[in-house]
Amino acid sequence: MRIELEKRAQVSALFSILSPFIAFALTMIFGGIMFALLGKNPAIALYSFFVEPLSEVWSLHELAIKAAPLILIGVGLSVCFRSNNWNIGAEGQFIMGAIAGSILPVVFYDWQSPMVLPMMMVLGMLGGALFAAIPAFLKAHMNTNEILTSLMLVYVAQLFLDWIVRGPWRNPQGMNFPETRTFAADAILPEMLASGRTHWGFGFAIIAAVLVWFMMRYTLRGFEITVLGQSARAGRFAGFSSRKMIWFSMLFSGALAGLAGIAEVSGAIQQLRPVISPGYGFTAIIVAFLGRLNPLGIIAAGLVLALTYLGGEAAQLSIGVSEKVTRVFQGLLLFFVLSCDTLIHYRIRLVWERLAAIKTDGSH
Amino acid sequence: MPVKGQTASGPLLAVSNLTKLFGSFAACNAINLQIEPGEIHALLGENGAGKSTLVKMLFGVLAPTAGEIAWQGEPVRVASPSDARKLGIGMVFQHFSLFEALTVAENIALSMDRNVSLARVADEASRLSHAYGLPLDPKAHVADLSVGERQRIEIVRALLQNPQLIILDEPTSVLTPQEADRLFETLQKLKAEGRSVLYISHRLEEVQRICDRATVLRHGRVTGACDPRAETPASLARMMVGSDVAPVTPEGTNIKGDVQLEARHLSVPARTPFAVSLKNICLKVRAGEVLAIAGVAGNGQSELFDALSGEYPVADDNAVQIRQRPVGTRNINARRLMGAGFVPEERHGHAAVAALSLSDNLVLARSQSDKRAFLGGGFLKIIRQSAVKAATRRISEAMDVRKSGEDPPAGSLSGGNLQKFIVGRELDRQPSVLVVNQPTWGVDAGAASRIRQALVDLAKAGSAVLVISQDLDEIFEVATEIAVISEGRLSDPYPAWELSREKIGLLMGGMYAKTEGAGAAHAH
Ligand SMILES: Nc1ncnc2c1ncn2[C@@H]1O[C@H](COP(=O)(O)OP(=O)(O)OP(=O)(O)O)[C@@H](O)[C@H]1O
Ligand SMILES: [Mg+2]
């Protein structure tokens, strides 16, 4: 047997719009089945997973805090993916941005100045961009596959973080815990709203999304990204360079991932630890696709995926399932988003015939 | 290879009231058509008449909006290409669908509805290809093959399904005359076996030569049927276009200006294993001249285009000169800014991006040369949609581009209409140097004559025009000078009046030995 995808004669406009919603509904259904198999009441479980976290002001702030890195990274990745460059290593760039941005509050901790915070943000972006420069260089000049190199560099970044917080940057007053010293007040990203904890990382995310949306929609740079993503040859005819685009898109997404990293550390954690991300860099890939690679869609998708993190924590407390459930929901969602999109363009055909001979058919 | 399951009489395929709407635009409007067993049936019509749309519905690629298809008298629903293949319909598309990195046999196996071993496919394919005079090496990689050979793969792939009806959408627009002759022999064989062929072409001579009946479409409707043998190319053209096709009037002046485009000992090593290297090419085009470069496809035409356009700059700055300034190392936009315009051969994915709108495709070629008009907002470089849309409208009107909507995606235009837009996009700038590769492939007779006239007029107005073409009729219609490219070498240019088809043929087949031979023969 063989499975074939056959292009549909007509693509339904309605279903193209509905696709993310159908994917979300299917995720709910399968999530419900999973809870039932775990012996929980699906209705209650889904309620505590997806609704309860939205019912209080403080948890809405938590939602924004979790959504901020997802949106920031997702927006950067959308530029990358649209230009046909596949940066899968945002998680690593996030970590390197966090480390680079932490140089000031950890190493030069006694330097106090209102300049510290902006410089940390810039350093964070630099750190992420430089780390993304490695796969960019390898792809642009050695023709290596950026999916593999950027992914493998994630582990390098994670181990580097682990080493630096246990070794050189460990807090001397920290009773040997693997942590850096906590940041001084002027190295902490302030809160955005009076009502709660949401820090400026969320503001950065919204600003970045709107700016990138504007760039993609109205400017020649956005046009260049679209053209090179569709056809490198046509891009060359337009005078655009695929190689420069590799650099631009990788550095750009790396910088936003780095900014997300330092904003998370400076706004939410306020020190470096061996693990600073529950996989934001990977989850942001789902965010980018669920948002249709559209920066405004990515804001919405970022909030949805942030909810899966909160829901996981909530469900762990209220109904006692593992917070790994979060991962399951994220996986389901990505799976359904991609398959809905595929099924809109293709129909599936199962081909059963075996080895039927051409001979009998084309009797010569 | 007798055809099985042939019913005694009645049409093989009957189409009634078949309609396809794109939005409110009727690409095909209540079409009636019958194809008899064992006939070669021509489908004629100007660009955008709805020919490709009609056959795509017959092959299940597009879903009809209304109407019926009957196969051997039975009403059928063709929901997909595999349905069509099961009925006994095979198709060769206007734009090929082959994987370049795979072998011939692998490409064929991919389209089979059954699991068959590669060896079987290879055997069967090479047997069939010999039986029909379409030699093919199943182990060859597609990337190594010429356009003609690629098309053979498509044909053999269709024949393997033992079809009773074979649809060919503009099969000869990319073939050399020799390759086309071969194809006609194959079609005659198929016909002799009782199979039917539905044949779309803009080349009316060949329609006259091989087709038994013709149906003419205009604006999505059937406007006539005829026996092509009883017509002349001119009368067929009139049926298609609705008026006489104006002949191209060649240049009236002999005033030649300065050299505007020049290649000086241009040598370029092959970029890929499948490319041709350019060897010591020298050419000069003066203002007021049309230099045509003839040659069989795959002899370095696209490499020459790449070097002249600057899509792939060359190492020696002096090797290419535009308006007497060295530009060899400059990129395509620098050359455009000096007044040059370029029209590549491949429409989809080179000259245009199918998924983008026509106005975006205008920006594609002119973002730098027209940046004053098209870009605003200083360093932000915001694209001025209103200016771009206005220019798109202007070009569409000037070139009579037929489209379904104000600014549709380029991919939705019929092949010929997109070509008109791509040529018009450059003409609209009045470039002082124009390099165009295969200006009219897939363009109908009326539009082709308009494009050729536009090239001639551009030269008359004082521009230098370089036309790369396989079509000798076209070359004789537009050229003031002719040179021939073969295996990456360019012959000396000759004044157009001095050359005959025979002489060009000699030059094509490896000129060095033969030009000397021909020269010697002259001397005696
Ligand atoms: N997917 C589509 N969406 C919208 N309009 C379309 C689409 N496909 C075709 N059309 C329109 O339908 C008309 C007929 O197109 P079609 O490709 O059938 O022409 P054609 O007769 O094959 O022309 P050519 O000789 O140039 O190949 C054109 O005006 C084209 O713009
Ligand atoms: Mg067509």
ipTM of the shown complex: 0.86
Which residues in chain B have their CB less than 8 angstroms from residue A347's CB?
A: 80
B193-238 pLDDT, tens digit per residue, is: 999 999 998 888 888 889 999 999 998 999 889 898 888 888 888 8
Which residues in chain B have their CB less than 8 angstroms from residue A351's CB?
A: 113-115
> How far away, in angstroms, is B169 Cα from ligand 2 center?
7
Q: State which ligand 1 atom lies nearest to the alpha carbon of B50.
A: 18
Give the nearest partner residue to B382 out of A218, A357, A359, using CB atoms.
A218
Split into its structural domains, chain A has a count of: 1
Q: For residues B228 and B213, is the Cβ–Cβ distance under 8 A?
A: yes
Average pLDDT across chain B, whole number: 88
A278-313 pLDDT, tens digit per residue, is: 999 999 999 999 998 999 999 999 999 999 999 988
pLDDT-wise least confident of B16-25, B369-378, B425-434, B507-516: B507-516
In a domain, A104, yes or no: yes
Q: Which of B95, B87, B77, B80 has the alpha carbon at shortest distance from B18?
A: B77
Q: Do A230 and B352 touch (CB under 8 A)?
A: no
Core vs surface per residue A235-274: b (16+ CB within 10 A) or e? bbbbbbbbeebbbbbbbbbbbbbbbbbbbbbbbbebbbee
A137-191 pLDDT, tens digit per residue, is: 999 999 999 999 999 999 999 999 999 999 999 999 888 899 999 999 999 999 9
Which residues in chain A have their CB less than 8 angstroms from residue B381's CB?
A: 219-221
A37-92 pLDDT, tens digit per residue, is: 989 899 999 998 899 889 889 999 999 999 999 999 999 999 999 999 999 999 99
B346-379 pLDDT, tens digit per residue, is: 888 999 999 999 999 999 999 999 999 999 989 9
Q: Which of A240, A234, A219 has the alpha carbon at shortest distance from B385?
A: A219
pLDDT value at residue B307: 97
Residue B2 has pLDDT above 50, yes or no: no
More confident residue, B381 or B23: B381
Pocket test for ligand 1, best of B18, B20, B21, B22 (most atoms within 8 A of CB): B22
Which residues in chain B have their CB less than 8 angstroms from residue A6's CB?
A: 80-82
Probe site for chain B from A1, A7, A237 (most B CB atoms < 10 A):
A237
Chain B nearest-CA residue for A363:
B1
Q: How far is B124 from chain A, CA to nearest CA, in Å? A: 8
How confident is the model over B465-494, as a mean pLDDT?
Answer: 92
Q: State which ligand 1 atom lies nearest to the alpha carbon of B202.
A: 25
| Alpha-carbon gap, residue B463 to B279, rounded angstroms | 27
| Alpha-carbon gap, residue B68 to B79, rounded angstroms | 12
- Number of Cα atoms under 13 Å in the Cβ half of residue B212: 15
Coil/strand/helix, residue A289: helix
> How far away, in angstroms, is B352 Cα from ligand 2 center?
16
Residue nearest to atom 18 of ligand 1 (CA): B50
Q: State which ligand 1 atom lies nearest to the alpha carbon of B417.
A: 26
Residue nearest to atom 8 of ligand 1 (CA): B412
pLDDT above 70 as % of chain B:
93
pLDDT value at residue B512: 42
Inter-chain contacts counted by CB atoms under 8 A, chains A and B: 114
Which residues in chain B have their CB less than 8 angstroms from residue A354's CB?
A: 114-115
CATH number at residue A22: 1.10.3470
Q: Do A355 and B60 touch (CB under 8 A)?
A: no
> How far away, in angstroms, is B218 Cα from ligand 2 center?
13
Q: What single-letter amino acid sits at B371? A: K
Q: Considering every ligand atom, which ligand is closest to the CA of B25?
A: 1
Residue B117 backbone phi and psi in degrees, to 5: -70, 150
> How far away, in angstroms, is B42 Cα from ligand 1 center?
18
Domains of chain B: 13-241 (3.40.50.300), 259-499 (3.40.50.300)
pLDDT value at residue A13: 82
Q: Do B355 and A239 touch (CB under 8 A)?
A: no
Q: Do B116 and A358 touch (CB under 8 A)?
A: yes
Q: Do A234 and B364 touch (CB under 8 A)?
A: yes
In a domain, A361, yes or no: no
Ligand 1 site, residue B416, Cβ cutoff 6 A: yes
- The contacts of residue A69 (CB under 8 Å, 6+ apart) are A94, A201, A205, A260, A261, A263, A264, A277, A280, A284
Q: How far is A355 from chain B, CA to nearest CA, in Å? A: 5
Burial of B19 (0-12, 13-18, 19+ CB in 10 A): middle
Q: How far is A243 from chain B, CA to nearest CA, in Å? A: 13
B244-288 pLDDT, tens digit per residue, is: 777 777 655 566 789 999 999 999 999 887 788 999 999 999 999
In a domain, A306, yes or no: yes
Q: For residues B222 and B26, is the Cβ–Cβ distance under 8 A?
A: no
pLDDT value at residue A3: 76
More confident residue, A259 or B496: A259
Sheet holding B40-45, edge to edge: B89-92, B165-169, B196-200, B40-45, B213-218, B221-226
In a domain, A362, yes or no: no
> How far away, in angstroms, is B132 Cα from ligand 2 center?
26
Give the nearest partner residue to B353 out of A230, A359, A361, using CB atoms.
A230
Burial of B254 (0-12, 13-18, 19+ CB in 10 A): exposed
E-strand ranges in chain A read: 2-7, 346-351
A334-357 pLDDT, tens digit per residue, is: 899 889 988 888 888 776 654 333
Chain A nearest-CA residue for B356:
A227
Residue B142 token pair: 């597609």
Residue B87 token pair: 């009925």
The CA angle A99-A101-A107, to the nearest 5 degrees, is 80
In a domain, A6, yes or no: yes
Which residues in chain A have their CB less than 8 angstroms from residue B110's CB?
A: none
Q: Do B114 and A354 touch (CB under 8 A)?
A: yes
Ligand 1 site, residue B446, Cβ cutoff 6 A: no
**Which residue range forms the structural domain that includes residue A182?**
2-353
Average pLDDT across chain A, whole number: 91
Which residues in chain B have their CB less than 8 angstroms from residue A223's CB?
A: 360, 363, 367, 383
Give the nearest partner residue to A349 out of B62, B82, B114, using CB atoms.
B82
Residue A1 has pLDDT above 70, yes or no: no
Give the nearest partner residue to B160 out of A6, A9, A362, using CB atoms.
A362
Probe site for chain B from A4, A358, A359 (most B CB atoms < 10 A):
A358
> How far away, in angstroms, is B442 Cα from ligand 2 center?
8
Q: Which of A261, A218, A331 has the alpha carbon at shortest distance from B374?
A: A218
B105-128 pLDDT, tens digit per residue, is: 888 888 776 667 788 888 888 888
pLDDT value at residue A2: 67
In a domain, A146, yes or no: yes
Residue B181 token pair: 């002759």
